[in-house]
Amino acid sequence: MKLTIFSTKAYERDQLNKYNQTHGHDLNFVEARLTPATATLARDTPAVSIFANDDGGAEALEALHAVGVRLIALRSAGFNHVDIETAEQLGMTLLRVPAYSPHAIAEHTVGLMLALNRKYHRAYNRIREQNFELDGLLGFDMNGKTVGVIGTGEIGAVVCKILTGFGCRVQAFDVKENPACREIGVDYVDLNALYESSDIITLHCPLTPKTYHLLNADALAKMKPGAMLINTSRGGVIDARAAIDVLKSGHLGSLGIDVYEEEADLFFKNLSGTIIQDDVFARLLTFPNVLITAHQAFFTEEALAGIYGTTLQNVTDFENDAIDDKKRVTSALVA
Ligand code: NAD
């Protein structure tokens, strides 16, 4: 089947070609992000593949539909960037990669915690300047600390397991409890209790209307003074302006993010030498206790193999009218 792949990066072409050997799809690589204006690049291709920062809004979907696209294969687990209702109204099929390597994201999450706690980002720069002082680098033992995990699905469950190994007391909130987490000693608590008693909070829920700005000014104010907040889920789960306020006041001890609400104009691009127009993001960059990675938590060899293998399999399944329902994105997922 002819498949237009939007937002293709150089590292993806070889991998996609490799995994495509068993599928034999006709791949049309496009570097541009999907937007209403670039949708016409998929002319005459019944299927497209998009990534986390492509615009899957109503206008873009209508433009894709107008040029004959019927399948959208997401190269991601998250689907907050796609207007599911519009896709359903247009009769377009949406398929995703529900789980590729939860370890990739979970390990990066814990990496952010350790780096912020022990200030590796600052130590690295200091040592390069031959400054071997320890002032300002004081951290704390992870052992014995209370970590609050919001969302204990595939990724959150692995985070719980790793942190249990560190000797942390892990507590969680989810709309649906995960028995595997209970088995390893995770306590489920309500959100307020989690905010008030966690030394570190880490976010692993999807971005939905219910989780949009879940960490707003109210929630941030309930957090323990000096606590750490980590977000590797989706940027919109945190109100970044409210986070800046509590960083400025000193109430929030540190912030580690791999995702940012307005990341589509920034991440996955080399913007060295340009002036960043996003003042909220520019302010976040100024804090010594904020560590930002540019949506790289998924970026391991194992995760890429899972993403490309499943994406191409999804296209084959669509072609053969043999779709695996677990891969479908429908409005029932956000109900
Ligand atoms: P998952 O579907 O396995 O788990 C999500 C969990 O969140 C589920 O247990 C669900 O019940 C829970 N949840 C849903 N609504 C909630 C709410 N209102 N409050 C609390 N919990 C709620 O998904 P996953 O594979 O663990 O991925 C989690 C998220 O991580 C994805 O939605 C995606 O946005 C993000 N992600 C980020 C990267 C990255 O590179 N940074 C990579 C993959 C996924």
Which of 161, 204, 302 to mutate to test ligand 1, by most ligand atoms within 8 A of the CB atom?
Answer: 204
The pLDDT value given to residue 99: 84
The catalytic residue positions are: 234, 263, 295
Distances (CA, A) of 85 to 45, 122, 245, 331: 22, 45, 35, 6
Q: Tell me which DSSP letter residue 199 carries.
A: S
Would you say the CB of residue 174 lies under 6 angstroms from ligand 1?
Answer: yes
Distance 153 CA to ligand 1 centre (A): 6
The CATH code of domain 2-100+300-334 reads 3.40.50.720
For residue 68 the two structure tokens come to: 């004959």
The pLDDT value given to residue 335: 67
Tell me the pairing of strands 200-203 and 146-150: parallel
Distance 274 CA to ligand 1 centre (A): 33
Q: Within 13 A of 86's CA, how many CA atoms are on the CB side?
A: 14
Would you say the CB of residue 210 lies under 6 angstroms from ligand 1?
Answer: yes
The reply to whether CATH 1.10.8.60 applies to domain 102-292 is no
Cα–Cα distance measured from residue 72 to residue 92, given in angstroms and rounded to the nearest whole number: 7
Cα–Cα distance measured from residue 111 to residue 162, given in angstroms and rounded to the nearest whole number: 11
The pLDDT value given to residue 29: 96
For residue 159 the two structure tokens come to: 């985070």
Q: Do domains 2-100+300-334 and 102-292 have the same CATH topology?
A: yes
Cα–Cα distance measured from residue 133 to residue 122, given in angstroms and rounded to the nearest whole number: 11
pLDDT at 100 over 80: yes
Distance 96 CA to ligand 1 centre (A): 13
Which protein residue has the closest C-alpha to ligand 1 atom 37? 233
Cα–Cα distance measured from residue 46 to residue 57, given in angstroms and rounded to the nearest whole number: 18
Q: pLDDT tens digits for 230-249?
A: 999 999 999 999 999 999 99
Average pLDDT over residues 205-223: 97
Q: For the ranges 96-100, 114-118, 238-242, which has the lowest average pLDDT?
A: 96-100
The pLDDT value given to residue 333: 84
Q: pLDDT tens digits for 145-195?
A: 999 999 999 999 999 999 999 999 999 999 999 999 999 999 999 999 999
pLDDT at 114 over 90: yes
Cα–Cα distance measured from residue 205 to residue 199, given in angstroms and rounded to the nearest whole number: 19
Confidence of residue 272 (pLDDT cuts 50, 70, 90): very high
Cα–Cα distance measured from residue 151 to residue 94, given in angstroms and rounded to the nearest whole number: 23
E strand or H helix at 87, and its extent?
Answer: helix 84-90
Confidence of residue 334 (pLDDT cuts 50, 70, 90): confident
Closest CA to 148 of 247, 249, 224: 224
pLDDT at 134 over 70: yes
Please state, as a whole number, how many other Cβ atoms lie within 10 Å of the Cβ of residue 23. 17
Average pLDDT over residues 89-113: 96
Distances (CA, A) of 324 to 4, 46, 250, 304: 21, 19, 48, 20
Closest CA to 266 of 257, 278, 279, 256: 278
Confidence of residue 11 (pLDDT cuts 50, 70, 90): confident
The pLDDT value given to residue 78: 87
pLDDT at 66 over 70: yes
Segments making up each domain of the chain, as ranges:
2-100+300-334, 102-292
